[in-house]
Structure 1
Amino acid sequence: MSFDSPTEERKSLLSPTSASDSDERLYRAPSKASGLSRFTLFSIVVCIICTGINLHAFTSSYKPRITHYQDLATLRRPNQWIGLDRVQSPPEHAPPILLYPNLLAQINSAEPTHVYKDDPVRIANLRALTPPEDRPFKVTPQFSTIAEFRSIDYKMENCEIVVDPAHRGAAAHEHSNFNATLGGGENVIDVWRLAAPYSIDSRTLSWKTRPSRAEKVATFQMQYGSKWSHKFSCPTDTLHVFEFGAANDETYVEWTQDHREPTPGECTRFHCLTKSMFERTRWSGVVMYQSSSFTD
């Protein structure tokens, strides 16, 4: 646009039409900026939502699935000794094998629903908290102890359960390495075999949930220096569960069963006992021996 004189140019700038065009341009600029800002915000929200969905899908797809088996009777236990029945039997008897209980736990008739952990004290190591090997044995008018064994070894089907409150020292109170404590009265114990078709879950074991009593094995009096034993047949891969309860109101028997007495390297499943070791081994505890049945 050209003007013939400066006066006409000034008139053109001051005219209403020119002012309206300028105002429209000023008005339209903020509108475009506002629209751009809303689009940016919307895009950011969409990105955040998509990222959250992807993270959830990723973590869900790789989450480990842990299955807890409560009914262990349904688990298959395959034969570990395939073909051994065709191997010639050894000419001599295999020495007996010492077994510690798979489970040694207490139940309380005064608190029938209370569950006592079989690892009341845990030891911290470099990896995690692990239960110690020591296990308590306690029999009182209220407390009973349940011991569970599993006979596994092939053709070692003559078993003997042994309960021994042995001590070292001339007097009953001088059991330095054996910490058995017996009450002053007649410590009489009833031994029951329990009807347990599968391993007991120590996390739910209580007086109320214990397996039913199948039969009474024996009744004996616990004394320092004398041990009680019971022999029975134990076919390969069978479970044997016993309950030790008080037969009178005077009974008090308690000890902490230490698997290091005697040294585990001397008499365990992995190192057979000699006959002399078998006869002289004494410590406070309830254990089971498996003896050879090759000639039976």
Structure 2
Amino acid sequence: MTSPQYMVKFPAFVNHCIGPTGKTDSWWMHQAMVRPDRQRQGIARNLINLVREERLYANSFRQAKLKGETLACSTTTPTNALVYQAIGFELKEKRDMPSPWGDWPLYVFALDTTMRDQEPEESIALLNEDEAHEELEKRASAKISAPQSKWSSWVSRVVCLLILVDLAVYLYIFRSLLVLSDDVLNDLEFRNPYIGLNELYASGRVNASRYEPIVNEPRIATQISSVEPDKVFPEDEHRWLSTAGTMSPLDRHLHVSSNVHTILQFRAMDYGMERCALALRLPSDRDKQDWAPGNGPVSVDVCALGVDRPLDPRALSWASRPSCREPFGTLTAGPGEETRLPAFPCSWGTLYTYEVACASESPDCQLDVWANRNGTWVPDYLTDLLHWYCVIDVRVRGYQRLPLRHCIRGLR
């Protein structure tokens, strides 16, 4: 800015005022652009108009651009930037430049942005001191926030990735729970908890003990109706709400009529008790239970169903019941009587399912009784005792308790 080389041809009313010193020249240009009296004279307006008409000084501007000379003009408002845009110069840098009459704002523009100022202190920013400090603070905060923004971006990506992983795991677990239905559980193998007993008795070192028959209650006892083929009868009808929560009595319902059948399902569970017989016992007259019209003898047909997996009573109806595999026999019993079918081999852990209906010779029979597992008749519930009797065949070793030393010796 100390060399007059930055000057180009300006109108005569401006050019004759420009002296050899850059500071004085720049100050005069500042006065010409911003002083109110100069503005009233229209100097700045005329200068802008002449600069816009670049064709008047095309050669001079072109020569200045080729030489990379620096042009300087002064302004206090960004609206005068059109002057410099019309010339085609670019903003190079803003610095503080002292003036003979005090500090004043100055824009320095250069055609060549790589030029180095000979005296950097001779430049001054257009902004005032407060605005300059604000600008510096903005730049400093921008430099500080840049790495923070970078870290924030990475943290956001990691958080989004973790959320996606959590959602994927949640969906996988949810899908697994949906797939893990009762049907899937019913397909699992029923493992033998009596480990080593087969080997123990097969060794011949231990003799089996004989026990009295035991009662095996049906695991499922539910009804189906030919009149309502899609109806699913409720289960656990006698449950009640107590102070300890919902209570479910261990009772079973046997209901047989012309259009209602009962489905029963048993599982042989006791080791060595593998001769079974289906038995029926009805209330006696002194039990004062109106379980059938006239309380006379009742005959029911039993049919073995072709199913080898646990039934779901919540989905069992006349339309969905398993088909009858073979007739199993007829049970006829009167008040207080007990009857049973011939014994048959029942392997441990095996399911046995039956359908009980009125016998063919008495299709209009009526039987509706309830039974609990301890063999008592409850007036409130009208209980029945439909159960199995498990008998021990002499050819089958039964379950017995042995001292530990015998068990260990038998397993050797």
Task: With the length of structure 1 as denominator, give the TM-score of the two structures.
Answer: 0.67
* 2:106 pairs with 1:12: no
- In structure 1, what is the Cα distance between the partners aligned to 2:260 and 2:140? 84
Q: Which whole-Å CA distance do the structure 2 matches of 1:127 and 1:40 have between them?
A: 59
Aligned with residue 341 of structure 2, among 230, 239, 247: 230
1:58 offset after TM fit, Å? Answer: 6.1
> Compared with structure 1, are the counterparts of its residues 96 and 157 closer, same or farther at alpha carbon in structure 2 (3 Å cutoff)?
same
Q: 1:182: how far off?
A: 1.9
1-side partners of 2:263 and 2:323: how far apart? 12
Measured in 2, the distance between the counterparts of 1:99 and 1:12 equals 114
184 and 39 in structure 1: CA distance in 2 versus 1, 3 angstrom threshold:
farther
Look up the equivalent residue of 2:390 and give its one-letter code. Q
Aligned position for 2:7? none
CA distance in 1, matches of 2:242, 2:250: 14
Q: Hey, what's the Cα distance between the residues in 2 that align with 1:35 and 1:126?
A: 69
Structure 1 pair 164/55, CA: closer, same or farther in 2 (3 Å)? same
C-alpha separation between the residues in 2 aligned to 1:76 and 1:143?
Answer: 32
Q: What does residue 255 of structure 1 align with?
A: 369
The aligned runs of 1:81-160 (5 Å cut-off) are 81-83=197-199, 84-85=201-202, 86-90=204-208, 93-116=210-233, 118-120=235-237, 131-160=248-277
Kindly indicate which of the two structures has a greater share of residues assigned to helix: 2
The answer as to 2:183 corresponding to 1:70 is: yes
CA distance in 2, matches of 1:77, 1:52: 46
Determine the structure 2 residue equivalent to 1:287: 387
Give, as a single letter, the amino acid of the residue that structure 2 aligns with 1:293.
D
Q: Are 1:151 and 1:235, in contact at CA under 8 Å, matched by a contact in 2?
A: yes
Where structure 2 has 5 or more consecutive residues not aligned to the other structure, the ranges are: 1-97, 107-123, 378-382, 397-412
CA offset digits 1:185-216 (Å, max 9, x no partner): 97542221222233333343322222211222
Mean Cα deviation higher: 64-73 or 144-153: 64-73
Specify whether residues 190 and 89 from structure 1 end up closer, same or farther in structure 2 by C-alpha distance, changes over 3 A only.
Answer: same
Aligned position for 2:26? none
Distance 1:32 1:255, change over 3 A: farther
Aligned partners of 2:140 and 2:238: how far apart in 1? 72
Partner Cα distance (1:41, 1:256) in 2 = 75
- 1:116-152: CA deviations, max 9, x gaps? 4543455668998674422322222332111112224
Query: Secondary structure at 1:201's aligned position in 2?
Result: coil
Please point out which of 295, 309, 323 is paired with 1:198: 309
Shift in alpha-carbon separation, 1:113–1:53, aligned structure 2, 3 A: farther
Please tell me whether the aligned partners of residues 167 and 284 of structure 1 are also in contact (alpha carbons under 8 angstroms): no
Tell me the number of residue pairs that the alignment of Structure 1 and Structure 2 aligns: 261
**Cα offset, 1:77, TM superposition:** 4.3
Decide whether aligned partners of structure 1 residues 38 and 228 sit closer, same or farther in structure 2, where only a CA change above 3 A counts: farther
Structure of higher RCO (CA pairs closer than 8 Å, 6+ residues apart): 1
Distance 1:51 1:214, change over 3 A: same
Aligned to 2:162: 54
Instruction: Kindly state the Cα deviation for residue 165 of structure 1 after the two structures are TM-superposed.
Output: 2.0
Between the aligned partners of 1:16 and 1:79, the Cα distance in structure 2 is 98
Whole-angstrom distance in 1 between the partners of 2:337 and 2:373: 20
Q: Report the equivalent of 1:267.
A: none
- Tell me the alpha carbon deviations over residues 52-97 of structure 1, each in whole angstroms, 9 at most, x when there is no partner: 543664683995955446264662645844222335444x742111
Q: 1:57 to 1:196 in 2, by over 3 A?
A: same
Partner Cα distance (1:27, 1:286) in 2: 95
CA distance in 1, matches of 2:294, 2:145: 90
How many angstroms apart in 2 are the aligned matches of 1:229 and 1:137?
16
Deviation at 1:99, TM superposition (A): 0.9
| Partner in structure 2 of residue 3 of structure 1 | none
**Selected match of 2:291 from 151, 162, 181:** 181
Question: For residues 241 and 144 of structure 2, what CA distance do their matches in structure 1 show?
Answer: 60
3-state SS, counterpart of residue 236 of structure 2: coil
The answer to whether the 8 Å contact 1:156/1:294 transfers is: no
Between the aligned partners of 1:132 and 1:44, the Cα distance in structure 2 is 62
Mark the CA change 1:54 to 1:96 in structure 2 (over 3 Å): closer, same or farther. same
Work out the CA distance in 2 between the residues paired with 1:199 and 1:189: 24
| 2-structure distance, mates of 1:211, 1:226 | 30
CA contact (8 A) 1:154 1:236 kept: no
Q: Which structure would you say has the larger Rg? A: 2
Question: Residues of 2 paired with 1:27 and 1:236: CA distance?
Answer: 92
Q: Does the 8 A contact of 2:331 with 2:340 survive in 1?
A: no
Residue equivalent to 2:15: none
Long gaps (5+) in structure 1:
1-7, 264-282
Percent same amino acid among aligned pairs? 19
**Secondary structure of the equivalent of 1:196?**
coil
1:25–1:214 Cα change, 3 Å: same
